[in-house]
Amino acid sequence: MAIEEKIKEFVVEWDEEGLKELCRSTLESNEATPAELLKIIGKVMQFVGKQFEEEEIFLPDLVGSANVVKNTIDEILDPAIKKLGGSKETLGKIVIGTVEGDVHSIGKDLVGSFLFSNGFEVFNLGEEVSASRFVDKAEEVGAQVIGLSSLLTMSMGFQREVITELDKRNLRDKYKVIIGGSPTSIEYANEIGADGWADDAIESVKLVKKLLGVNN
Ligand code: B12
């Protein structure tokens, strides 16, 4: 069975141990890199999301699958990426999180993991992050980029609030603010005065490189 099919099976059946073991053994035998596994997992989650939207599965199924993926990324893939990265100099620092009122984590975690595996230092603040917390953290670590995820029409407004918070503190020019998440768009990014928008994790890496003038 192709690896994508196996991953899909474990995610759909909530087999967390199975997925972790598959990722562990695949990495050990060098059959795939952590970034390649993350890419497949992202595709599988898109598939699961679509099934939910088409009412083929229900909310508890979705929560179960999302938890299996989150725990595998946290415990196996992120540490593997960090190990590969060693102590090399980073290309830049990014603070990323999901905005206030929004618990969706998977897309934002994927973006963070992809940025990390491409040489950036990533500070993942988690979900339901307030505007002041984003700005405080960016100031604390000396970040260049702030990444804001929103998956809900209801929480999109909080992306704008982070920009307002930067304005209030006279810090707007110090940071590149990027946004993403399914209800957002390049038009919305422009409307709220963000510096960029990306549709997926791969595009996010390209966007950050472009904004920071990294050539590769
Ligand atoms: C999984 C999921 C959940 C899980 C989340 C688990 C978790 N730990 O994340 C659970 C079950 C908890 C959940 C809860 C809810 N959900 Co929900 N959920 C989804 C679902 C099916 C998939 C999201 C996902 O993980 N996609 C896979 C990832 C890989 O894709 P992604 O998130 O889009 O991220 C990519 C890009 O958007 C981009 N990106 C994302 N973030 C960022 C950030 C930056 C900076 C950049 C550059 C790019 C970027 O790159 C990512 C990687 O490729 C979507 C439907 C869908 N198909 O999107 C609904 C969906 C987002 N949920 C929805 C709703 C309504 C809810 C609830 C309100 C349901 C309820 N009635 O309780 C609650 C919200 C609670 C809250 N306060 O947040 C709606 C939102 C509608 C809207 N526009 O407002 C959706 C669209 C489903 C629907 N069609 O109705 N949900």
pLDDT surpasses 60 at 84: yes
* Mutate which of 77, 98, 118, 151 for ligand 1 pocket (most atoms within 8 A of beta carbon): 151
Examine the domain organization and report whether 64 and 128 are in the same domain.
no
Q: What is the CATH number of the domain that holds 11?
A: 1.10.1240.10
**Residue ranges making up the domain that contains 200:** 93-212
Span 90-130, pLDDT tens digits? 789 999 999 999 999 989 988 988 788 677 889 999 999 99
Say what the pLDDT of residue 89 is: 64
> How many angstroms is it from 176 CA to the middle of ligand 1?
24
Residue 104 Cα to ligand 1 midpoint, Å, equals 5
Task: Identify which of 180, 165, 169, 174 has the alpha carbon closest to the alpha carbon of residue 134.
Answer: 165
The closest residue, in CA terms, to atom 79 on ligand 1 is 152
- 189 Cβ inside 6 Å of ligand 1: no
| Binding site membership of 112 for ligand 1 (Cβ less than 6 Å) | no
216 has a pLDDT exceeding 80: no
For β-strands 145-149 and 176-180, DSSP reports them as parallel
* CA of 105 relative to ligand 1 center, distance in Å: 8
pLDDT for 127:
98
- Tell whether 106 and 192 lie within a shared domain: yes
Residues 66 and 167 in one domain: no
Question: From the CB of 149, is ligand 1 less than 6 Å away?
Answer: yes
Cα of 170 vs centre of ligand 1, distance in Å, is: 32
pTM of the model: 0.84
Give the atom of ligand 1 at the shortest distance from the alpha carbon of 48: 21
Q: Same structural domain for residues 69 and 119?
A: no
